Structures are given as structure tokens and as C-alpha cells.
Amino acid sequence: MRSDHSPEIEDAGFLSLTPERARVLLLVAARPATFALSAIVVLVLVTLFAAGSGMDGAAGAVAASWLAVHQVPLVIGKTTLGLFPLLPTALLLGAAGRECYRAVTPNSSRTEIGWVFGAALGGPLLLTAVCLAVAEDASAVVALQPPDTLAAFGWVVFLHLGAAGVGVALRMRRRMFDLLRAPEWVIAGIYGAGSTVLRLFGCAAAVTVVSFFAHWGDIGDTYRSAGNAWGFIGLTLLSLAYLPNVVLGAVGVLLGAGANFGAASIGLFGVVGGPVPAVPVMAAVPTGPASAWWAALLLIPAAAGVLGGIDAGRTSGDRLTAPWATLTSAGAATLLLVLFSALAGGELGTFGRVGLELPVFALVCFGWLACAGYVGLVCARYFIAPVGATLPASDYYDDYDEDYDTDADYDDDYDSDDYHDDDYHDDDYHDDDYHDDYREDDDYYDDDGYYDHDSYYDDDPDALDAELVDDPPKLTTAPRQTPPDIVDAEVVETDPDFDARADRRR
């Protein structure tokens, strides 16, 4: 949905819908949900085929999988499942957010934005209603209790509204900041929070991979229960799907909060043993007593916080007595991490609740990032960017907003080749024929004698001779001087005999 009008100009009305806009809205509503449902159907059918099971419960399994992707709690038999893998959810929401990002422009009107949000919610809600009806019917065939309708719709609206909001906000971030009149330290803090969260995710993923290699033997033990190749593939896919959950748990452990697995728990200063799910991804969880060197891992979030403070010092006007961008960055990063951690945890049958202790995690996270960020701000002010040398807000806009002015899709639609093609500025417009017709040719002047200098002025010695002189070349070593406004003119009276001879020639 491309728009080249200013933000103040609105469409004819909210109910106006052009064919082009309808096509874009259809893609926003249907494409991510259709791809996700198709992948679910394929996985369910392959799983049932590999297990040698019948197709009686296929519809119920597809409906339950769609609800599980949206983190809707399910009850199968007497087992409550509230801990679902985050990777499918992240892929679906990422695709939905990207569709919304591409459906708007920085100058889209409120009407267009409203249509995009409505389409982003309409498609998933429709499929959710169908899946709830299918799950209700399938409860007579499989041990699947119908989920709570209000909870199901609430989770779908929450997730897809968040994805659409992130996509639209990223596309229109400059306009959003201008409308909110956000101070520059708020903008710098938000960008810094995103960088800090990515750093923590990267460090936690690296620690998880190292732990995998350290417990390679335990991973092999979990694969022995697979039975055959299909079981091996299933355990591998299940582990990959739960990998973001494990990485978020590793973030909590690195910050010193600890992670719980029912009765079992793990932290940098102690480990409480207990049963854990027998999947390969859980083999990375240490089961022995805590080692003394584990406390050194606290340097990882400290380093991430220091880098965040340095970023705030370079991109804002924070002072040591007013570190507002640093505190904003720490608070926004903590809010994002708590939200992701809440999605990564949940009930897992007989194991109990799996996840982080959210209140402790929030306090520890903000404390680490704020204190370490202030240290980074001090370093930035004394060694990198003093207060007088801080960068303006436009500098960090340029780092993140390159697609605002250079987005290929937006520019191609507005400044296409059809608009500035050769047909518009071709040789036919400035060709010799055009100018030859506009400037009368030499035959006309010579034959008629109307403007022939030789026949018109040569007979009169008192006639005024004139010559067209090209403009002199401009100087390259001195600036061009502005010509004076006074124009010198001289009136020359012609000879009466000259006028008489001219009349006879006519």
C-alpha cells in the first residue's frame, strides 16, 4: 500500500477501498496465517504417517497446533500444557510484522494504518474461530479438552496486534517520534535498549552452544530413546523449536536470577537437582553443583550494560548528573526481556512450572543494566564523547533509518522508470527538426531577403552593424560577480534616406 501524500492529507473515508489496497490487505490478512497453517498440516500428517497412526485425530491435532503456536494453554487428558516452543511463534509473528511493515509507508494516513491493523487481526482471528470449532468437535475423538474461547482470542489479538504495531512503528518511527514530541534522550534510550537486548541474546546463545559441547555425551543419551530415524528427526526439530526458550533461560541465569524446572533449579551460585524433560536441548542444563568460576559469567551482562551506557553517551546529551537516556535504555531492555521471558515459560504437565522467576529477574536485570550502563556513560564522557561533542539525533537516525529514504520498494513505486523514461525526455522533444522548425532556416532568410545582412545593410554606410557574441567563459579562479542593475542604453537616430530605401525593397 503505497502513498505519496503528506501525513495531513486523509483519504476520502474509512470505507473507501481501492483494488490495489484490497490486494495488499488480503496479503496482510492471509499470507502469514496461510503459510503457518500449511506448515502445521504438513507436520501433523508426516508425524501421523511416521507413527503409523490413523487420520481420525488429524483435524484435532491441526487445530491444537495452531492454538499452541499462539501460546494458548491446552489440556490433553489430565495434563496441562502451557510451555510451547517460541520458534514457531517468532516465525509467524515475524512474517506478520513484515507484511505490515511493507503495507505502509512513512506518510501513510490514519485510514490506511487502521485498514492494515484490521487485516492483520482479521485473518488470524478467523482461523482461530475455525480451530476452536474443530477442537470442540475433536474432543469426542481425541483426549483434547476444548480450550477457553476468551483466552484463545485474547492470545491471538495480543500477539498479532503486537506484531502489527512493531511493524508499523518501525516503518513510521520518525513520524511517530515527531507526533509524540519525544525528547532525544528517549529516542536514544529506545535504540540503545534494542542493541542491549540483542547483545544479551547473542551472549546467551554462545554460552548455550558451549554448554551443548560440554554435555555432548548427555545429548547422545537422549537420542538413544528415539528408536528410529523418524524419532531422531522429531527430537531434533523439537529441540530446535525450544531453543529460543533455552536461550532466554540462559539470559536469566547470566543475570543471576536463576531458572526453575519444576522442583529443579539452576543458577550461577547453586543448582538444585530434579527431573527435567528428556529432550536433547535440555542436555545443556548443568545438573551438578555450581562451580566457583561460574560467577565470572556475571561479567557478560556487565559488559553488555557498559556498552549500552557508551552508546547512550555517544548518541545523547546525557550528563553524569542526568543519565536519562541510560536509565531509559535499561528500563526498556528490562521490559522487553521480561515480556519475552513470560512467553518462554509456562506449565509443563507433571514437571510443574518451567521458566524464570519474573519479579526477581526484572529487579536484577534493571539493576545490572542501569549500574553497568552508568559506568559506560562515565567512560564515554571522560574518554570517548564529552558532553560538548555529543552527536545530534539525526546521526543515529541515519544508522537505523536507511530504508526511510532509500527503500527500494517505496522509491520504485514513486520514481519508476515509466515516469522518467526516455519517452518523456527523448530526442523527439529536443531534436533538430523541432528547433529547425522553430528557428527559420537559411533558405527563408536568403531567398526572401528579409533578414539578409548583406542585402539589407551593406548599401547604407550609416546603418548600425550588430553581431551576436556568445557569452564569455566563466572564470574558475574567482567567484562570479553579480552584474549591476543599471543598463546603459544609447538611442541612435537613423537616416531618413535609409528608411526610404527600405520601403522600396519591400
pLDDT score, position 109: 87
Rounded to 10 deg, the angle between the 86-103 and 19-51 helix axes is 160
Cell numbers at residue 404, please? Answer: 526511510
- pLDDT tens by residue, the chain, 506 residues: 444 444 444 444 555 678 888 899 999 999 999 999 999 999 999 988 887 777 778 898 999 999 999 999 998 888 888 899 999 999 999 999 999 999 999 888 888 899 999 999 999 999 999 999 999 888 777 788 888 999 999 999 999 999 999 999 999 988 888 887 888 888 899 999 999 999 999 999 999 999 888 888 778 778 887 778 888 888 889 999 999 999 999 999 999 888 888 888 888 888 887 777 878 888 878 877 778 888 899 999 999 999 999 998 888 888 888 899 999 999 999 999 999 999 999 888 888 888 898 999 999 999 999 999 999 999 988 888 665 444 444 444 444 444 444 344 443 443 434 434 444 344 443 444 444 443 444 443 444 433 344 443 344 444 444 444 444 443 333 444 444 444 444 444 555 554 545 455 44
Torsion of CA 112, 115, 120, 125, to 10 degrees: 170
pLDDT score, position 410: 40
CA distance 407 to 400: 12
Cβ-based neighbours of 184, under 8 Å, separated by 6 or more = 316, 317, 325, 392, 393
Q: Determine which helix (DSSP H) or strand (DSSP E) holds 41, and give its type and residue range.
A: helix 19-51
Confidence (pTM): 0.72
CA distance 502 to 452: 13
Question: Which residue stretches of 278-431 are H helix?
Answer: 299-315, 324-344, 358-379, 393-400, 402-406, 408-414
Cell numbers at residue 369, please? Answer: 543494566
HSE at residue 361, side-chain half, CA atoms within 13 A, is 26
Rounded to 5 degrees, φ, ψ at 309 are -65, -40
Cβ-based neighbours of 417, under 8 Å, separated by 6 or more = none
SS3 345: coil
CA distance 267 to 270: 5
CA distance 224 to 311: 48
CB 326 within 8 A of CB 308: yes
Cβ-based neighbours of 281, under 8 Å, separated by 6 or more = 238, 239, 240, 242, 243, 246
CA distance 83 to 245: 9
CA distance 24 to 48: 36
pLDDT score, position 446: 43
Residue appearing with cell numbers 556475571: 298
pLDDT score, position 223: 83
Cell numbers at residue 79, please? Answer: 495434563
pLDDT score, position 495: 53
pLDDT score, position 19: 85
Nearest to 93 by CA among 119, 111, 117, 120: 120
Torsion of CA 401, 405, 408, 412, to 10 degrees: 160
Cell numbers at residue 76, please? Answer: 490433553
Nearest to 347 by CA among 271, 222, 260: 260
CA distances from 405 to 81, 105, 166, 176, 256 (A): 46, 11, 19, 16, 43
CA distance 449 to 433: 23
